[in-house]
């Protein structure tokens, strides 16, 4: 296993998390609807494996199939993997409600295998028969600071396309576009120089020396976004991966295991 399983799927697998502070946004929608959307996010966050029935009542088949990679019954039978452990939302912003659709951007902190990590992404909800339900995830849109080099990164089935010559200096940000027909995510890890990527992807064990750097997504087909780093990347070997399940594969094979990974070196 390379990195931490599915990133947004990890965000999914560990569930969302309790809602905190910043509830800004200028979206339409009644105060009642906005409050119900927030409560839905809180409820999903608080669920663990023992709450699988309640969890399934607040998610659509779309999000189960496309992002979790589980059918409703498979999720019920594998509750620990499907729901996972609660985590903590540290911020929510740009909450928008329009009719029976809602969207918000979340930042939350979780923990896996004893290590903490931060995630930032958008959640999409719809209202069905009077109940707000989680319907999808999308990447966050962080502005690229002025003066930072921009490297175009195209996502497809199943590849990352970019100019590796432009990443050598380390002081850049990715401008992402999903040109594929499936949702994709972008996970960046730093790896040892001698790591066999293919073998690591096939292994069930986490290889030593792998460092999580950043991630964003998922990006639905046609969606765009960015991957911005807090500081220039240090010299070393880096790998981009997508761990989302193949929506057209009955086995739900992760995209990385179908060749969706690419590496570059910072000098």
Q: How large a percentage of the chain has pLDDT more than 90? A: 54
Q: How large a percentage of the chain has pLDDT more than 70? A: 85
Q: At 104, give phi and psi (nearest 5°).
A: -150, 155
Domains of the chain plus CATH, in order, are 7-139 (3.10.450.50), 149-266 (2.60.40.420)
Q: How far is CA 200 from CA 113, 169, 192, 259, in A?
A: 17, 27, 12, 13
State the alpha helices, DSSP H only, in 67-206. Answer: 72-77, 79-82, 197-202
Q: What is the pLDDT of residues 110-155, one digit of tens each?
A: 666 666 666 777 889 999 999 999 998 877 778 899 999 999 999 9
Q: What is the pLDDT of residues 174-219, one digit of tens each?
A: 999 999 999 999 999 999 999 999 999 999 888 999 999 998 888 8
pLDDT of residue 110: 62
Strand order in the sheet with 224-227: 159-161, 149-156, 172-178, 224-227
Task: Please count the CA atoms within 13 angstroms of the CA of 174 that sit on its side-chain side.
Answer: 29
Residue 7 has pLDDT above 60, yes or no: no
Q: Which residue has better confidence, 96 or 247?
A: 96
- Omega of the bond leading into 229 within 30 degrees of 0 (cis): no
Q: Is 53 helix (H, G, I), strand (E, B) or coil?
A: helix
Q: What is the pLDDT of residues 79-96, one digit of tens each?
A: 988 887 777 777 778 889
Gap between the Cα atoms of 79 and 141, Å rounded: 31
Task: Share the mean pLDDT of the chain.
Answer: 84
- Residue keyed to tokens 């296993």: 1
Angle at 105 between CA 146 and CA 29, to 5 degrees: 120
């Amino acid at each position: 296993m390379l990195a931490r399983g599915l990133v947004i799927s990890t965000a999914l697998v560990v569930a969302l998390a309790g809602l905190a502070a910043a509830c800004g946004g200028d979206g339409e929608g009644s105060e009642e609807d906005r409050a119900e959307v927030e409560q839905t996010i809180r409820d999903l966050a608080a669920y663990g494996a023992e709450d699988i029935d309640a969890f399934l009542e607040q998610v659509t088949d779309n999000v189960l199939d496309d992002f979790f990679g589980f059918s409703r019954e498979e999720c019920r039978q594998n509750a620990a993997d499907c729901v996972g452990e609660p985590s903590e939302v540290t911020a929510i912003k740009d909450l928008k409600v329009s009719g029976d659709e809602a969207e918000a951007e979340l930042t939350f902190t979780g923990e896996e295998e004893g290590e903490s990590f931060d995630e930032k992404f958008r959640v999409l909800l719809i209202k069905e028969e009077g109940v707000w339900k989680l319907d999808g995830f999308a990447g966050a849109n962080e502005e690229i600071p002025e003066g930072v080099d921009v490297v175009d990164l195209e996502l497809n089935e199943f590849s990352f396309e970019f100019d590796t010559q432009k990443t050598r200096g380390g002081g850049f940000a990715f401008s992402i576009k999903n040109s594929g027909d499936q949702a994709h995510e972008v996970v960046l890890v730093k790896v040892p120089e001698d790591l066999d990527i293919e073998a690591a992807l096939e292994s069930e064990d986490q290889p030593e020396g792998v460092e999580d750097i950043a991630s964003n997504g998922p990006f639905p087909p046609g969606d765009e976004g960015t991957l911005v780093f807090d500081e220039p990347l240090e010299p070393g070997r880096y790998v981009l991966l997508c761990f989302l399940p193949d929506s057209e594969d009955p086995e739900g094979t992760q995209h990385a295991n179908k060749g969706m990974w690419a590496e570059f070196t910072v000098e």
